[in-house]
Structure formats: structure tokens, C-alpha cells
């Protein structure tokens, strides 16, 4: 998977928060539309995606292609992708 080719429209939801649990207790989920996210904020989805893309060499890519994540400076950034 080439993470540089991921576009914001391919992101179902995005997460940013403190390292550790990603249930939402240490951070927030953002999306383009309501449904399973804390806030509808397309700009934040794009910001999280761009942060991940800027640190490509440190990114964890799900083998199934469902998500891309980055742990950096005490935070986790993740985007969940459409199939």
C-alpha cells in the first residue's frame, strides 16, 4: 500500500490521542459524517492523514489494508480506510 496515494475521501474515520488504548478514552475520533465518531470534522481528518503521510517511514500499515497508524511524540494517529 502506498500511503501517499490515500486521499481524505478514502478515510472512514480518523483518530488522534495519547498512546495506549484507542477506545476513545485517550483521544477522539473524527469523520466526514456522523456515525461512530466523536466529531464531524473533515479538516481534522485531512490533518491526521497528512501527519501520517509526512512520517511514512514510521507508519504501521494493517496487513488487511483497513487502517494506517503512526505513534509519534506520545500520540497515536490513525486513519481507517474504505474497502
Domain extents in the chain: 3-81
- Model's pTM, two decimal places? 0.91
What is the per-residue pLDDT for 81?
94
8 A C-beta contact, residue 49 and residue 69: no
DSSP at 74: T
% of the chain with per-residue pLDDT over 90: 78
Residues of the chain with pLDDT under 50: none
Buried (b) or exposed (e) across 17-44, using 16+ Cβ within 10 A?
beeeebeeeebebbbbeeeebeeebeeb
Amino acid at each position: 500500500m502506498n500511503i501517499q496515494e490515500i486521499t481524505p475521501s478514502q478515510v472512514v474515520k480518523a483518530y488522534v490521542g495519547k498512546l495506549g488504548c484507542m477506545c476513545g478514552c485517550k483521544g477522539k475520533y473524527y469523520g466526514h459524517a456522523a456515525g461512530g465518531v466523536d466529531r464531524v470534522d473533515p479538516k481534522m481528518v485531512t490533518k491526521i492523514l497528512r501527519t501520517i503521510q509526512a512520517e511514512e517511514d514510521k507508519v504501521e500499515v494493517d496487513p488487511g489494508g483497513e487502517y494506517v497508524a503512526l505513534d509519534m511524540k506520545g500520540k497515536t494517529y490513525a486513519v481507517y480506510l474504505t474497502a
